[in-house]
Amino acid sequence: MDSPQLNVGLIGYGLAGSVFHAPLISTTPGLRLSAVVTANPERQAQVRREHPDASVLDSADALWSAAPHLDLVVVASPNRTHIPLATAALEAGLPVVVDKPLAGTAAEGEELARLAEDRGLLLSVFQNRRWDGDFRTVRELVESGRLGTVRRLESRFERWRPQLKGGWRELGDPAEVGGLLYDLGAHLVDQALTLFGPAVRVYAELDVRRAGAQTDDDSFVALTHADGTRSHLWMSATAAQLGPRFRVLGSEAAYVSHGLDGQEDALRSGSTPADADWGITPRERWGTLVAGDSVEPVETLPGAYQDYYAAVAEALRGRAAVPVEPRDAVEALRVLEAARRSAQSGETVSL
């Protein structure tokens, strides 16, 4: 017998809500996008066009009033609202998914995780980049031993955006939790910790390069993991030439890939995981396994953002663990905080 659909309330219908969460929720079997919270009239009209079966609410308070009819709340609003909204959802008795970063500080994230544990409610963080096809490929190569002992991960999210776009992500007020370190860096650090475990030392350079910019837009973070592996992570909006997305150096071979996973662009164009060719990387964009003169193309595993919400649905039904533990997000926040301290002092920070 099929399980009844789980009703999901989504807070926020900007980039995160409209491009990532709503399409993934609405195409995940067993989940139903029941309500969307946005006070912006244009976005309200957009919700009605794109998800006509969802209720449109203009405040989170209206969502709490509907709590008895909901099974999950997704917080996809600006970073500064993550903690207050997720806290209110848990206090209303609702499981929560929070977009990354979970919080502005590790202490706030720890407190939220403790509240979820005390209430016996699911709390997870939307680290969708764990389901990038290139990262899934790197993870398989690492775990299979084809690279030998991995000595260094090089990972980049670089873009060429010499002009400011505007918006809260570029504001300098620390309360906004903006800047590339907490935006793209939140993904890169999570991926590195997922691959190689805890970091024991952190060094960072956080730069502000563009005219009028208020927060970091060209940054580098170096991690030393407890097992001795090093992760070198770059994030930039000012890279006129893009470096490799991944270069993973092992004792037996290296893996190199270029270009970002295509799922974000596909979602922006209106495609969804319901499309037959979802997550497939063309052969000409596969990465390569390299050992000296030997160069071997490696098929990129399919990207699978849909697997995150499928796992959330299973966790809500008590059949699986949450796909991203809040404690993982707290550990990543500790690294991000250490990176800020390192950049300010110019010294390596021990964890």
Per-residue model confidence (pLDDT) at position 142 = 98
Residue 40, in any domain of the structure: yes
Q: What is the pTM of this model?
A: 0.95
Same domain, 180 and 55: no
Alpha carbons 155 and 234: distance in angstroms, whole number: 6
- With respect to residue 311, please indicate whether it lies within any of the assigned structural domains: no
Q: Per the domain annotation, does 27 fall within a domain?
A: yes
Residues 36 and 166 in one domain: no
pLDDT of residue 319: 95
Q: What's the confidence (pLDDT) of residue 2?
A: 62
Q: Is 110 found in the same domain as 17? A: yes
Give 65's contacts (C-beta < 8 A, 6+ positions apart). Answer: none
Nearest alpha-carbon partner for 94 in 66, 113, 114: 66
Asked if 112 and 200 sit in the same domain, the reply is: no
Question: What would the two tokens of residue 19 be?
Answer: 């491009």
Residues 6+ apart with CB under 8 A from 221: 181, 185, 188, 189, 202, 203, 204, 231, 232, 233, 235, 335, 339
Q: For position 265, which CATH number holds?
A: 3.30.360.10
Check whether residue 247 and residue 199 sit in a common domain.
yes
Look up residue 320 and give its two tokens. Answer: 């699986």
Question: Could you give the CA distance from residue 177 to residue 170 in angstroms, rounded to a whole number?
Answer: 9
pLDDT at position 1 is: 47
Same domain assignment for residues 112 and 142: no
Angle ∠(123,134,8) on CA atoms, nearest 5: 30
Q: Is 322 part of any domain? A: no
- Do 41 and 13 lie in one domain? The reply is yes
Length in residues, the chain: 351
Looking at the structure, tell me whether residues 67 and 149 fall in a common domain: no
Alpha-helix residue ranges (DSSP H) falling in the chain = 15, 22-26, 41-50, 60-65, 82-91, 106-119, 133-144, 180-196, 263-268, 306-316, 326-345
Q: What's the domain count of the chain?
A: 2
User: Are residue 218 and residue 231 in the same domain, yes or no?
Assistant: yes
Contact (Cβ atoms closer than 8 angstroms) between residue 248 and residue 254 = yes
Residue 296 near residue 288, CB atoms below 8 Å: yes
Cα 266 to its chain centre, rounded Å, is 16
Residue type, 10: L
Spatial CA neighbour of 202 closest among 218, 226, 184: 226
pLDDT at 165: 86
Quote the pLDDT of residue 173: 83
Q: At which of 106, 126, 146 does a domain end?
A: 126
DSSP-based three-state secondary structure for 73: strand
**Tokens representing 105?**
């500080």
The parent domain of residue 70 ranges over: 6-126
DSSP readout, 235-275? EESB-SS---SEEEEESS-EEEE-S--SHHHHHHTT--TTS
Distance CA 251, CA 148 (A): 5
Same domain, 120 and 206: no
Question: What does pLDDT average to in each consecutive run of 10 residues of the chain (351 residues)?
Answer: 85 97 97 98 98 97 95 97 98 98 97 98 98 98 98 97 87 88 97 98 96 94 98 97 98 98 97 95 97 96 98 97 97 98 98 96
The last residue of one of the domains, among 80, 103, 126, is: 126
Asked whether residue 120 falls in the same domain as residue 137, the answer is no
What is the CATH number for 70?
3.40.50.720
- 148 and 89, same domain (yes or no): no
